[in-house]
Amino acid sequence: MLLAVLDGRLDVRSTEEMSIDELCRLRAVLETSEVISSFVHERHPKRGGRAFSIVSLLLLYIYMECRKSTYRGVVRNLSDRDCECLGLVDNDGCPRRPSYGTLNVFVNGTLAPMAEAIGDEFATAVLETMRVSSFTLDSTPLQASRFNTEAALNPHYSIRMDKSHILMADGYPLYQIHSGGGANDNPFASQLVDRLPPVDGMAFYADGGYDAFRTYTTVYMATGAVMECNHGTNALHHGIDEDAIRRKYARMWRFEGYDPHRKNDLDFMLWFLCRHGEEVLVGKHLRDRSMLLAAEVDGERRNVRQVCETVHRAMKRWVDFSIFRLVKKTKEARVRCRFLCLQLLSVLFKGYIEPA
């Protein structure tokens, strides 16, 4: 997927002000997707049959979510001009509207299974194309109806809800995991961070729910960054400084990979300890460093962490990122599809962090 082919980004961040012509700027990006191209090649109609373009139906679905409409409503309100813009035409170039059943089957039967693969391709393209400087990790509630007994009642928010755990890069949503509303945040951190390709030189911010020793270690091993998160006012400082790491390293001289000449290389010692079962000790050291960074942080850097909350609020304005009116059988699939919409809209709209 090539994000560089996008013909300019919109100066607005509102789907209400976005026209269907502006939405169709995403066509050039989607047509470079290898996942979509592979699917079209494998599922092309036989005996000269003609099917709607995957890209056209995906754009129509994004338009439906932006307008918070239904399958029947978005198809009924399509004008001939809209069909031509979306590429919904027949062999003669005349407008050809899909039925609402066709759009329903496309979303739940075709898009849902491949949404995560397209999203992973998008995430790789963002990390390769955009000048990303920081990652943020946080969860956001997916509100449910108060009558939905299948959704857990979260005591913190006092609502029935599910959760979406999201890893972002400078306001671009990269990966998400859908969980129950009563689930703790921390167990999902390693699953999200492990999906990152090798990166280095990035800052990493997280919510206080991810404040755990092994999470610090996981983030450090994946990105080389010391995770900064919201610590409590009574947070304990463990006193695991560089000298403590060096003493532990010196006592492990019998382990494979030990090098006495690298006892002053802190990064090497931390990697060595992690590879030999000392993740908790390394996590305590990294947490102490994180607390020192939080004490020294100034207002400008603190605002970078707030980008995550700002984007979460914007995402729920762009599409209905909740589980209202979704049945249990299809809600996870629809959340994946809506998250893909959010990923694509994040590169269409003006960014929340200006490139350096």
Note whether 342 and 119 are within 8 A (CB).
no
Q: For residue 319, give the nearest of 306, 297, 338 by alpha carbon.
A: 338
pLDDT tens digits along 154-188? 888 889 999 999 999 988 999 999 999 888 889 99
**pLDDT tens across 215-265, in order?**
999 999 988 899 988 777 677 888 889 999 999 999 999 999 999 899 889
The DSSP bridge partners found for residue 123 are: none
User: Structural domain boundaries of the chain?
Assistant: 3-128+330-348, 132-325
Residue by residue, what is the 3-state secondary structure of the chain? CCHHHCCCCECCCCCCCCCHHHHCCHHHHHCCCHHHHHHHHHCCCCCCCCCCCHHHHHHHHHHHHHCCCCHHHHHHCCCHHHHHHHCCECCCCCECCCCHHHHHHHHHHHHHHHHHHHHHHHHHHHHHHCCCCEEEEEEEEEECCCCCCCCEEECCCCEEEEEEEEEEECCEEEEEEEEECCCCCHHHHHHHHCCCCCCCCCEEEECHHHCCHHHHHHHHHHHCCCCEECCCCCCCCCCCCHHHHHHHHHCCCCCCCCCHHHCCCHHHHHHHHHHCCCHHHHHHHHHHHHHHHHHHCCHHHHHHHHHHHHHHHHHHHHCCCCCCCCCHHHHHHHHHHHHHHHHHHHHHECCCCCCC
Q: What residues in the chain have per-residue pLDDT under 70?
A: 45-50, 233, 294-305, 352-356
User: What is the reported pTM?
Assistant: 0.90
Distance from C-alpha of 327 to C-alpha of 145, rounded to nearest angstrom: 11
Q: Which of 72, 112, 108 is nearest to 340 (CA)?
A: 112
At residue 299, the pLDDT reads 46
Q: Tell me what pLDDT residue 47 has.
A: 61
- Return the pLDDT at 58: 95
Model confidence pLDDT, tens digit, residues 248-259: 999 999 999 999
Q: Pick from 63, 190, 58: which is nearest to 112 by CA? A: 58
The β-bridge relationship of strands 134-143 and 172-180 is unpaired
| Whole-number pLDDT of residue 295 | 61
